Each structure stands twice: as structure tokens, then as C-alpha cells.
Amino acid sequence: MDAFRVIIRGKFAPLDESARRSLEGKTDVAFTEEGTFSHDVNATAFTFRCQIPAGPGDDERAAKDGATAALAAHGLPCRDLNYAVTDLRTMKIRRKNR
């Protein structure tokens, strides 16, 4: 699979009630192109997971830019972002010998 998996951890700016309702519909732990959130009880800190398609010349910077765009598309105010990028093109699956 030619993709990056990106995890963004950060904090929400104060959310109004409509933003909180919107967030609940986007809460999951799956890696999707649109991205999903998990968050603390008060919706102050969050983890955002997304999967970004990888082209032949793409690098970690391209993955971060794609993930940032996916996060921004949700329209929720956030700050203090930390990124973790995994390049699935370099992953090797070890199989048990049978």
C-alpha cells in the first residue's frame, strides 16, 4: 500500500456547542483519508488519525501537509500540534514460519 499514516496530537481552542456536536460525529480510531478524532472527556485535547496517499516522490513533509489539510477541512479550531508520520511503503510484514 502506498500511503502514509499520520497521527496529529493537539489541543482544541474553546469549542461551542455546535462544534462539540460536530466532533461527536467524527470520533473514531480508524485511519481514513478524511481523518478521525479521539479526544478527552472535555474535548480539550485530541488525537487525529488520517491516511494520506503516497506518490513516488512524496516524503514526510507532503504527508504532514496532506494531514494538516484534512484536519483543517473539519473546521475545528486547534493548536499545539505534534505530528507522527509512518511511511507504509517501508513497512515489512513478518510472517510466522509454520
Q: How far apart are CA 75 and CA 58, in angstroms?
A: 26
pTM score of the predicted model? 0.85
What does the pLDDT read at residue 1?
Answer: 66
pLDDT tens string 13-57: 888 888 888 888 788 888 989 999 999 888 889 999 999 999 888
| Cβ-Cβ contacts under 8 Å for 75 (sequence gap 6 or more) | 19, 22
What does the pLDDT read at residue 27?
Answer: 85
Report percent pLDDT > 90 for the chain.
52
